[in-house]
Amino acid sequence: MRVGHALILVPIWVFNSCSAGARTDSMLTLPVIRTIETPNLILRELRRTDGPDLVCFMTQPRYQRFIAHRLKDEDAVFAFVSRQIAVQGDTRRNVFHLVAEERHSAEVIGDGFLICHPDKTVEIGWGLHPALWRVGFGTEIGRALVALGFERLKGAKVWCKVMRPNTASACLAKRIGMVHAETRDNFPVGHGRFEQVDFYSIDAESYFNLPY
């Protein structure tokens, strides 16, 4: 398994036998995503104990500025965690939400999601504690999500949405191999808001031809 352009010589995705996943057409559905390791992070499914760490950054205005689903307070974050845990183990899942844990401190500092769409594409998104922007953690999360979308969920294409003012995420999308696909004006981004939104994507052939 490779994550982005690096070959990791440890088992970063560990699954049960093939019965752990069910194949729908050419895409794979999985009840549980096992631990993923990157050079500095551990990406895994949510636990109830993650709530306090998530509250620390998910409720910050800087974190919420460019995301659609805003959690207004501690209660909303804990309810979100409970919803995600409730669907873990369900083979019908099409949404996976992971947390990014810093390997040395064991603190949850970011998150990411994957959504499997009926057209065999996988939408991804990522978030990071604002205090840790611009040090490479977001790129590690993004590369891991792309790898998961292709290598475990067997998507034909992986894509993301980026609000036009969010130049940092636009640069990140390009760093992990995505290219600009289209721009939509007045795109609904939640809570009655509309923004100019850029779509970035990478197809399976391009991903597997990326240099290591």
Which of these, 101, 209, 191, 106, lies nearest to 150 by C-alpha position? Answer: 209
What confidence score (pLDDT) does residue 109 get?
A: 98
Nearest to 153 by CA among 182, 181, 106, 113: 113
Q: How far apart are CA 142 and CA 172, in angstroms?
A: 8
Token pair, residue 40, equals 């500095």
Query: What are the 10-residue block averages of pLDDT along the chain, 212 residues in total?
Result: 39 30 56 90 97 97 93 97 94 94 97 96 97 96 97 95 96 98 94 94 96 78
What is the per-residue pLDDT for 191? Answer: 82
pLDDT of residue 24: 45
Tokens of 188: 């609904």
Give the residue extent of every domain in the chain: 2-156
Q: What whole-number distance in Å separates Cα of residue 16 and Cα of residue 32?
A: 9
Write phi, then psi, for 135 (nearest 5 degrees).
-120, 5
Per-residue confidence (pLDDT) for residue 10, from 0 to 100: 29
Question: What pLDDT shows up at residue 29?
Answer: 63
Domain over 2-156 is classified CATH 3.60.70.12: no
Task: Identify the residue whose tokens are 């729908």.
Answer: 24
Q: Give the per-residue pLDDT at 30.
A: 73
Residue 106 in tokens: 């064991």
- Please, are residues 96 and 123 in contact by the beta-carbon 8 Å criterion? no
Q: Which amino acid is at 143?
A: R
pLDDT for the residue 211? 83
pLDDT at res. 16:
27
